[in-house]
Amino acid sequence: MKRVSVLAVLALLLVSSCGTNLGMVDTKSLMTTTTAVATPQQAQKLLAEAEAARVAVRDSIARSFVTAQQNLTSAPQDQSAIKLMNAAITARTAFNKVDPQFTAAWQVAADAVDTWTRAPSDQNAAVTFNAMYASVRKSLTDLSAAQTGGVQ
Amino acid sequence: MTTSSSIFALLKIAGQFVPYVNIAETLIEEGYTFGHQMQKFAAEQDITLAEWSDARTQNKITLDDEIAKLGGTVPSTIVAPVEPSQPPDPYTGEYSALEFARNAGKLAGKPGDRIYSIPNGKFKLVYGGAGGNVPTTWTLVETIGG
């Protein structure tokens, strides 16, 4: 029991500390890309990396959630385990709120890239992509924030 | 179709195909770019575009899917069933913001069903049924926006 409690405390510290956590996915480089994307190839790369970042955040939260459940099962009365479970539930809720928005924006942006790829000189396609990618980036920021409970 | 556009056509399915996204993460840790990952995976698996197209019918992998896969218990998000005052567009599944607001949180759903916001101010319902067929029943689990 004591060992479980110690583990729960350690895990809680990991979840509740700042963005330099070991288990926290860093999406900063993608989120700070604010200059307009100039080519369809760059657009493809950015979108692909955004999706990969989403998956990494998703799996990080999932692992934390399962760990919290296991700790709570082992020590149902342990306050640290309860706190960890609550933090995991908050992160899960925040992620599930934002993920559909990310997915929808990503899909529209991907369609825009397809159009742009077929006509690389089409400035309208470039503008459309950049507009949609701003939404993708915003949702990615919110997904990243979900790791610590979401945007307040 | 050029090589890069072929690759991107595959990339678009990434979030809907479990083996790919898992492998992609591993490769990212190894320092590959996402484009490299796709090329590497396609080469290793000898996968065809048609096979990737089949993967489109699979549901997008959600956080709850991943929790369940890891052995966790996913809390139910089903809410009480209520008939909508008007059905969504039977072809697109789109549902007006007004109808969404009226019914938000009151519709029947099951884990895996999602509602998507789309840029034109409407919401798009995505069903758990396979193959993209027009569903006989429609559902909403999570409420967003509105």
3-state secondary structure of B126: strand
Q: What is the pLDDT of residue A32?
A: 54
**Contact yes or no for A113 and B8 at CB 8 A:** yes
Q: What are phi and psi of B114, to 5 degrees?
A: -135, 160
Q: What angle do CA A125, A129, A134 make, to 5 degrees?
A: 155
What pTM did the predictor assign?
0.53
Rounded Cα gap, residues A26 and B88, in angstroms = 38
Rounded Cα gap, residues A72 and A82, in angstroms = 6
What's the pLDDT tens digit per position in B5-55?
444 444 444 433 333 333 334 434 444 443 344 444 444 444 332 233 223
B106: tokens are 């009151």
Rounded Cα gap, residues B117 and A100, in angstroms = 7
Which residues of chain A make contact with B8, given a CB cutoff of 8 A?
44, 48, 110, 113-114, 117
From first to last of its 152 residues, chain A has per-residue pLDDT tens of: 444 444 444 333 333 333 333 356 665 555 555 578 888 878 877 877 787 788 888 889 999 999 999 999 999 999 999 999 999 999 998 898 888 778 777 777 777 877 787 888 988 888 888 988 888 888 888 888 888 876 54
Helix or strand holding residue B114 (H, E): strand B114-117
What are residue B125's DSSP bridge partners?
B115
Nearest to A109 by CA among A87, A84, A86, A131: A131
Rounded Cα gap, residues B128 and B59, in angstroms = 7
Q: Tell me if ipTM is over 0.85.
A: no
| B5 CB within 8 Å of a chain A CB | yes
Q: Which residues of chain A approach chain B closer than 8 Å at the C-beta?
A: 41, 44-45, 47-49, 51-52, 54-56, 58-59, 61-63, 65-66, 69, 89, 92, 95-97, 99-101, 103-108, 110, 113-114, 117-118, 132, 135
Which candidate from B4, B9, B145 shows the least CB-CB separation from A41? B4
> Which of B2, B10, B59, B63 to mutate to probe the A interface, most A CBs <10 Å?
B63
Rounded Cα gap, residues B125 and B127, in angstroms = 6
3-state secondary structure of B83: coil
Q: What are phi and psi of B123, to 5 degrees?
A: -125, 145
